[in-house]
């Protein structure tokens, strides 16, 4: 079978991508340093522990597996942490990606699907963001991802490294079979925080900011189911294999949910109260981020089927109830 190198394949999105690749007939080769990933999430192909900052280790893996393409998920991704420690994000995300691209060129592995973010757009309230929207990141996480996007374009011009860039909106949910799901340490994402609070695994959920210029005062985000997201990555891989040009796609639903609306949905799905408290805004948080994903639908043929808040929470709750958060 054809090998695909999956950086960050032990993480939340990367592990779901590995399952999708395996089901599609590929062999996903996980490359992960386990800083934020989990070895027990590597279930669908070989695991190679290593760090993107270690170029010789990258060269070893490229030489051993000779991957046909790369799916690049590995990155630090906490907005608040990136505001406190920007150097950490520039070093890990940008320097690590530079090592990866140079190793890929040296190995003649010239197709890459890159995990970017809507955080590259910054705070543009009242705008449905599409691929032509101005990119003005307001935190080091978004800025580091934007730098990698520029890097990819430079490497294509110089070395023929072709790419598909996906700018995600808020990813949530879990594998419908409950084999893998979302778990971070520390946890910072709304849906798993809410479900852990419902299950009594943590204190009350904190709503960070209730004075935003939104109907209920809380932030609004566009949520996409993780399985729909990784389906788009397989389509992106196919796009490159068909010799289509390098491009960028947003991945979202075009609809936004406020924090309070997510809490209401969680209460309805689980039929349990959601303990929460109200706190101040977090530095670096935008008021509203909603995607226009027509390009992915029209050009890739991407048709998300599970990206409804009820379905997202149902799948995540099924996984959480199995106790996977107790690592």
Q: For residue 182, is it within any domain?
A: no
Q: Is 158 found in the same domain as 36?
A: yes
Question: Tokens 């420690």 identify what position?
Answer: 85
Predicted local confidence at residue 131, as pLDDT: 93
Q: Is 241 found in the same domain as 110?
A: yes
List strand residue ranges (DSSP E) for 105-204, in order: 111-117, 128-129, 162-168, 170-172
Q: Shortest CA distance to 312 belongs to which of 234, 221, 204?
A: 221
CA–CA distance, 217 with 214 (Å, rounded to integer): 5
CA–CA distance, 48 with 60 (Å, rounded to integer): 10
Q: Is 110 found in the same domain as 19?
A: yes
List strand residue ranges (DSSP E) for the chain, in order: 3-7, 27-32, 47-49, 69-72, 111-117, 128-129, 162-168, 170-172, 205-208, 220-221, 223-225, 247-251, 257-258, 276-279, 288-291
Q: Is 160 found in the same domain as 213?
A: no
The CA-based angle 90-96-102, given to 5 degrees, is 125
Q: Is 195 found in the same domain as 129?
A: no
Q: For residue 72, is it within any domain?
A: yes
Q: Is 296 found in the same domain as 158?
A: no
| Residue-wise pLDDT tens digits, 83-100 | 999 999 999 999 999 999
Name the stretches of the chain with pLDDT < 70. 125-126, 284, 323-327
Q: Is 87 found in the same domain as 47?
A: yes
Predicted local confidence at residue 324, as pLDDT: 58
Predicted local confidence at residue 1, as pLDDT: 83
Alpha-carbon torsion (320, 51, 231, 223), positive or negative: positive
Structural contact between residues 295 and 130, judged by C-beta atoms closer than 8 angstroms = yes
Give me the active site residues, please.
141
| Residue-wise pLDDT tens digits, 163-181 | 999 999 899 999 999 999 9
Q: Is 114 found in the same domain as 203?
A: no
| Residue-wise pLDDT tens digits, 183-211 | 877 888 899 999 999 988 888 999 999 99
Q: Which of 236, 251, 266 is the last residue of a domain?
A: 251
Q: Is 196 found in the same domain as 118?
A: no
CA–CA distance, 193 with 189 (Å, rounded to integer): 6
């Amino acid at each position: 079978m054809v090998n695909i190198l999956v950086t960050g394949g032990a993480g939340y999105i990367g592990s779901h991508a590995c399952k999708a690749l395996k089901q599609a007939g590929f062999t996903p080769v996980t490359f992960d340093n386990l800083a934020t990933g989990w070895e027990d999430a590597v279930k669908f192909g070989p695991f190679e522990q290593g760090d993107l900052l270690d170029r010789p280790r990258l060269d070893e893996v490229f030489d051993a597996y000779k991957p046909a393409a790369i799916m690049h998920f590995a990155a630090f991704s906490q907005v608040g942490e990136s505001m406190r420690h920007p150097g950490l994000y520039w070093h890990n995300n940008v320097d690590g990606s530079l090592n990866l691209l140079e190793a890929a060129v040296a190995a003649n592995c010239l197709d890459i699907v890159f995990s970017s973010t809507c955080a590259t757009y910054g705070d543009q309230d009242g705008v449905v963001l599409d691929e032509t929207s101005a990119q003005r990141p307001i935190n080091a996480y978004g800025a580091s991802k934007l730098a990698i996007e520029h890097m990819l374009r430079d490497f294509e011009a110089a070395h023929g490294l072709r790419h598909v860039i996906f700018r995600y909106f808020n990813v949530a949910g879990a594998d419908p079979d409950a084999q893998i799901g979302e778990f971070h340490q520390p946890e910072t994402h709304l849906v798993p925080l809410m479900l852990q609070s419902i299950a009594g695994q943590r204190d009350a959920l904190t709503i960070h900011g209730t004075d935003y210029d939104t109907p209920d005062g809380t932030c609004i985000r566009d949520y996409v189911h993780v399985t729909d997201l990784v389906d788009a990555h397989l389509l992106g891989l196919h796009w490159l294999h068909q010799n289509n040009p390098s491009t960028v796609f947003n991945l979202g639903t075009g609809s936004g949910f406020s924090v309070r609306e997510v809490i209401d949905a969680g209460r309805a799905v689980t039929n349990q109260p959601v303990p929460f408290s109200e706190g101040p805004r977090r530095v670096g948080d935008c008021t509203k981020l909603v995607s226009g994903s027509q390009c992915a639908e029209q050009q890739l043929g991407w048709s998300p089927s599970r990206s409804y808040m009820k379905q997202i929470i149902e799948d995540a709750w099924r996984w959480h109830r199995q106790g996977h958060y107790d690592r």
